[in-house]
Structure 1
Amino acid sequence: MRSSQPTLPRIVLAFAAAIMFAASATSAFAGIGLGRGQAVGGVMIDPQGNVRAATPAEQKEMAEVIRAAMNEPAGQLAQVTEKRVISLAKLQNALRQVHETGGHIGDEAAFLAGLQRIEYVVVDEENQDLLLVGPAEPWELRADGSVVGKQSGGSVLRLDDLLTAFQSVETARRDGGIRCSIEPTAEGRMRLRSFLKNVKLRPGQNPAFLEAGMREAFGAQMVSLAGVPTTSRFARTLVAADFEMKRIAMALTESPVRGLPSYLEMARNKRQSAAQSPRWWMACNYDPIARDGDGRVWKISGQGVKTMTEEDIVAADGSVESDGRQDPLALKWAETMTEKFGELSTERSVFRDLRNVMDLAVVATLITQEQLDRKSGLDLSVLRGQDSLVETANYELPQSLSPQCSFIHGRAGWTVTASGGVNINAFGVVDNQVESADLQTLVVARDNGDDTRWWWDSK
């Protein structure tokens, strides 16, 4: 149903105070849908397209902007609960109301009432509704500008990411999933190979002094995205998570988690091949989706994210291909990152942000693929963007970035590690289903005391 007041501006998914700041400043925090934000999870993407870690001063500035725009969670929002319920029907009504009054969406909606994860999707035919159920907690602002749960330290789910997930299901289907990669060019690989031909190290000499010249020869790396709008916060989260994973793997930043060393540390003094280069990417890591016999209750579980690897074989012309082989050491690093992912995502919020967008992609795909909206009788036109009521923040995403790569000089020559990415195959997750009789006993009580309230806690 289209709004009866089409001349009103679309809802801007932002806080009013933050919008005013973003209009006058050159950079702002992108984590909560602020006007023209530049950072995600402590990773800065500036207007010139440079991707880098935000400086302490920039993190402080971002935190100050968000602190001025945020309200302290109060009432039930200040409570920890294992079963917070979001009504998609009532949430859409709330968005329509904001649109018709010309207002702005506040932090309660922007942070999806403090939801940490969506564990259940429930079809409520009686009320023509779909319910999202999961644990929630009050949120707080970290010194680096991240907004996380007070108890768990995990990034909260975001309304703008939910909108992007719903609006990207068919695009992701067409593109074969949601993907991000940051790759060197063939020309850069050839320049680097030429550079290294003239390098002769003395026994015991540290090659670190060569890295500036090697990066210059390598040149810019290209950013590739598919499945989601490149202007979305969702897309920036993918790029930022890939960037930060590579920085940890290649010892460009210190690992914040005990037991997760860099790949370079693990590979030191090992035999390396100049024709091979390890690639890592993060992918979905879910249990089979459980459903009751009638397909009215669905349970989503599992860690959410795993790290995978294979070897890139570099040809003489700088092109690469892979035969699926895995270097044992690179595989060990990938398995260690997967094992430590929970701790890592608490220390570096960008990784929890990544799991959040993966979760939302799975939820949106499940609802669309299984036609749960039709089963419930709910029109999801607002969340799917068909009513054009909600305007999410738009960001300029760089097409390329300065090289983020490391170099290992082993007994057989140089190995360059530079490639990586993210691959979200939500359709594969949704297709992997099992029936569970236990879900027939799930009870989600409705809050019928206030027709305008779109969330509540259920026992």
Structure 2
Amino acid sequence: MKAVVLPRVSYALLLALGLALVSSPVFAGQTAFRQQSVGGVSIDAQGQLTSATPEVKKMLRQEMLAALDKVPGNLATPVKMRKVSLRGLNAIMKSSMETDGELPDAVKYMAGLQRIEYVFVDEANDDVILAGPAEGWTVDENGNVVGLTTGRPVLMLEDFIVAMRSVQEARRAGITCSIDPTAQGRQNLDNYLASLSRMDASVKDGVERALGPQVITVTGVPTSSHFARVLVAADFRMKRIAMNLDPSPVRGLPSYLQMLPSARAVKNAMPRWWLACNYEPMAQSEDGLAWQLRGPGVKAMTEDEYITEDGSVKQSGKTSPLPQKWADLMTANYEELSAEDKIFGDLRNVMDMCVIAALMEKEQLLAKANLDLDMIKSDASPVALEEFPTPSTVPTFFSAMKKGSQWVITASGGVDINSWEVASHTEKVAGMDKLRTEQLASNNKLWWWN
């Protein structure tokens, strides 16, 4: 979108952003309010998504707490290394479905794991073990399932299932999400701005009406899945923080608008931000039976874009200093941000899962363990995924901030999970073999152990 100077006005940096969803059936056995609210956003009866109100968050939390089982035994204990047997997890899923068709909370929340840090192949027991920090779980004030002491999001089995079943699609084209204005909307907005002679209160409605609904595109995973909703909600929240529509929960991350010394600092560029994988090379043992996922997991990326005469977007291949500075700040503050705004922790969890799924496929770890995860990997599994309304469009919202000259910008962006690229970067690290032996020796023959 071109920068536009409006005569006889002393301010206006404008942003267009929003989100709406199309309705779909509510998945049996799940709470209505979980359907309405994911990642701090809420869907109304018409399928439009906005930030969740305090009332919706309260009702969601009450429903989820009422449905939550008491955390059993040693699962409540915070530990740096909890092990989850995929053979055992698959078996208890099968047993639960044959018994009453309901999965226990311990299974739904993968024994309270908060990250997958290690993968061990247990050849002696024909098993693959996931390991990482874990603790008991509860529901926070926003309806997120989080650790009892850390408040960090726990891993969700439904997201792991999506990651495992989508691994080949991730290999072919990656897993992505973006929210973008339409070409027609950009043309309409340019025409509207060209017709203005001054700024007043009516401009807000005019900008929102001219730009119209924006398009949500999700690739690589089922668009009706919770996984897809995590991608969309994280992108939505990133844009709203960048453009000062929502306050940043982290002191070290101001909005992009607050960082601009003047509107002219954008130099006619339309910044695009997106969230991508941020891992170090994976550590592996000499025998390829132990693996460690290393690095912070997520980083913010940026690139300048420009609008052609027909309203389409082109990437410039260049990066402006100020958008890059904001992206760097988000990356540097991501750990703290994910603790304060749980959707960013959820995003890192699903990225971890995608990388682990790609690793297991690339290295044929299930074949090495003679392990068939029919309940997890197969589309014919009786374990049905919860179906959420499929995100499709975004209504435009308007934000203005006094910055001297009069410029109009918009933010596009998204999420890009290139899990196979991460899984392809490995290095052999001394001591991984010993660590695997030590951790497997503590196996208590249950499907999880500390």
Note the residue ranges of structure 2 that are not aligned, 5 or more in a row: 1-26
Q: Secondary structure at the match of 2:81?
A: strand
Indicate which of 279, 303, 313 corresponds to 1:310. 303
Note the residue ranges of structure 1 that are not aligned, 5 or more in a row: 1-17, 30-36
1:55 aligns with 2:53: yes
Contact kept in structure 2, 1:365 and 1:427, CA below 8 Å: yes
How big is each residue's C-alpha offset from its partner over 1:18-65, in whole Å with a ceiling of 9 and x where there is no partner? 95574xxxx421xxxxxxx23212112445332211000000010010
Aligned match of 1:280: 273
Indicate which of 42, 57, 74 corresponds to 1:76. 74
Shift of 1:405: 5.6
Q: Secondary structure at the match of 1:298?
A: strand
1:445 aligns with 2:443: no
CA shift in 2, pair 1:405/1:379, >3 Å? farther
Partner Cα distance (1:448, 1:156) in 2: 22
1:163 aligns with 2:168: no
| Structure-to-structure mapping, 1:6-405, within 5 angstroms | 19=28, 22=31, 27-29=32-34, 37-46=35-44, 48-174=46-172, 176-201=173-198, 210-272=203-265, 275-404=268-397
Partner Cα distance (1:405, 1:326) in 2: 25
Give the aligned length: 422
Shift of 1:244: 0.5
Q: Secondary structure at the match of 2:374?
A: coil
Shift of 1:432: 0.8
CA shift in 2, pair 1:54/1:232, >3 Å? same
Letter in 2 for 1:373: L
How big is each residue's C-alpha offset from its partner over 1:115-166, in whole Å with a ceiling of 9 and x where there is no partner? 0111110011111000001010111211111111122221000000000000
Partner Cα distance (1:287, 1:209) in 2: 50
Q: Secondary structure at the match of 1:294?
A: coil
Contact kept in structure 1, 2:229 and 2:391, CA below 8 Å: no
CA shift in 2, pair 1:181/1:448, >3 Å? closer
Shift of 1:414: 1.9
Partner Cα distance (1:190, 1:448) in 2: 63
Letter in 1 for 2:193: L
Shift of 1:353: 0.6
Shift of 1:272: 4.8
Name which of structure 1's ranges 404-413 and 185-194 shifts more when overlaid on structure 2. 404-413
Q: Secondary structure at the match of 1:162?
A: helix
Partner Cα distance (1:286, 1:326) in 2: 22
Partner Cα distance (1:404, 1:172) in 2: 32
Contact kept in structure 2, 1:38 and 1:47, CA below 8 Å: no
Contact kept in structure 2, 1:274 and 1:412, CA below 8 Å: no
Name which of structure 1's ranges 385-394 and 109-118 shifts more when overlaid on structure 2. 385-394
Identity across aligned pairs (percent)? 44
Contact kept in structure 2, 1:250 and 1:405, CA below 8 Å: no
Shift of 1:408: 6.6
Letter in 2 for 1:445: L
Q: Normalising to structure 2: TM-score of the pair?
A: 0.89
How big is each residue's C-alpha offset from its partner over 1:287-329, in whole Å with a ceiling of 9 and x where there is no partner? 1111011100000011111000111111122111012111111
Contact kept in structure 2, 1:289 and 1:298, CA below 8 Å: yes
CA shift in 2, pair 1:102/1:74, >3 Å? closer
Letter in 2 for 1:114: G
Aligned match of 2:11: none
Contact kept in structure 1, 2:223 and 2:391, CA below 8 Å: no
Contact kept in structure 2, 1:169 and 1:365, CA below 8 Å: yes
How big is each residue's C-alpha offset from its partner over 1:242-275, in whole Å with a ceiling of 9 and x where there is no partner? 0010000011111111021110111152415685
Q: Secondary structure at the match of 1:190?
A: helix
Contact kept in structure 1, 2:93 and 2:107, CA below 8 Å: no
Contact kept in structure 2, 1:274 and 1:413, CA below 8 Å: no
Shift of 1:410: 5.8
Name which of structure 1's ranges 149-158 and 242-251 shifts more when overlaid on structure 2. 149-158
Contact kept in structure 2, 1:272 and 1:411, CA below 8 Å: no
Shift of 1:387: 4.3
Q: Normalising to structure 1: TM-score of the pair?
A: 0.88
CA shift in 2, pair 1:281/1:448, >3 Å? closer
How big is each residue's C-alpha offset from its partner over 1:353-410, in whole Å with a ceiling of 9 and x where there is no partner? 1001001111111101111111111112221025422111011213112124646776
Aligned match of 1:34: none
CA shift in 2, pair 1:65/1:150, >3 Å? same
Aligned match of 1:3: none
Partner Cα distance (1:384, 1:162) in 2: 10
1:456 aligns with 2:445: no
CA RMSD, Structure 1 to Structure 2 (Å): 2.0
Aligned match of 2:4: none
Letter in 2 for 1:150: L
Name which of structure 1's ranges 136-145 and 222-231 shifts more when overlaid on structure 2. 136-145
CA shift in 2, pair 1:20/1:89, >3 Å? closer
CA shift in 2, pair 1:357/1:120, >3 Å? same
Letter in 2 for 1:435: K
Partner Cα distance (1:405, 1:325) in 2: 27
Shift of 1:411: 6.2
Contact kept in structure 2, 1:59 and 1:145, CA below 8 Å: yes
